C-alpha cells in the first residue's frame, strides 16, 4: 500500500478536527474534534511505522500511549463539561469566559445584581443605591455578581 493514502485520510481527519475546534460552540463537539485530530496523528504514526518497517514498531507503541492519554483527556474533559453544565445550565464555549461561579437566574431572590449598576435583580424593585443587603428585595450587592457573604466593592450610584 502506498503511503499517500493514509496520509491524505489523516490530513482530512485533522482538517475536520481543526474546523470543529474553531467553529463549534458546544464543548462536547469540541472534545470530539480534538479526538479526531488525535486519531489523525495516530493514523500517521501507524502508517509511517509500517512504511519504515521498524522492527520495534515504535510508531504503534506510541499510538497506544496516545490512545491512553486521549482516554484520560476525554474523561477529564467530560467531567469538566458536566460540572460546568451543572453550574451554568449551558455548555456553550462562547459564554464561558471565566471559571468563577456567577449567580444563576434561578436564584433571583438572593439579591445579586450582576450587572454593575447596583440596581439589583431580586424582584425588580431595586433602588439603585448599590448598598445591597441581599434580602431579595432587589437592592443587590455591589453589582459585581458576588454571592452574599463574599467581599464586594461598593460603588456609589450617580445622582
The string of pLDDT tens digits covering residues 63-112 is 999 999 999 999 999 998 888 888 888 878 777 776 666 655 554 444 44
Q: Give CA torsion, residues 110, 116, 119, 120, to 10 deg.
A: -10
Kindly state whether residue 139 falls inside one of the protein's structural domains. Answer: no
All cell numbers assigned to 53: 518497517
pTM attached to this predicted model: 0.57
Residue 12 lies in a domain: yes
Number of domains forming the structure of the chain: 1
Query: Within a domain: residue 99?
Result: no
Structural domain for 19, as ranges: 3-92
Amino acid at each position: 500500500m502506498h503511503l499517500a493514502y493514509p496520509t491524505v485520510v489523516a490530513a482530512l481527519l485533522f482538517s475536520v478536527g481543526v474546523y470543529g475546534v474553531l467553529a463549534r460552540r458546544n464543548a462536547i463537539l469540541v472534545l470530539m474534534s480534538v479526538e479526531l485530530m488525535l486519531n489523525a496523528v495516530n493514523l500517521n504514526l501507524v502508517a509511517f511505522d509500517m512504511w519504515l518497517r521498524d522492527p520495534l514498531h515504535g510508531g504503534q507503541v506510541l499510538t497506544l500511549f496516545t490512545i491512553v492519554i486521549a482516554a484520560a483527556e476525554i474523561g477529564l474533559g467530560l467531567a469538566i463539561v458536566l460540572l460546568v453544565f451543572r453550574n451554568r445550565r449551558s455548555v456553550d464555549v462562547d459564554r464561558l469566559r471565566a471559571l468563577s461561579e456567577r449567580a444563576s437566574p434561578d436564584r433571583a431572590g438572593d439579591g445579586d445584581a450582576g450587572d454593575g449598576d447596583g440596581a439589583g435583580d431580586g424582584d425588580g424593585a431595586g433602588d439603585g443605591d448599590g448598598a445591597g443587603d441581599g434580602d431579595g428585595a432587589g437592592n443587590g450587592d455591589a453589582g459585581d455578581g458576588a454571592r452574599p457573604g463574599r467581599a464586594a466593592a461598593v460603588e456609589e450610584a450617580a445622582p
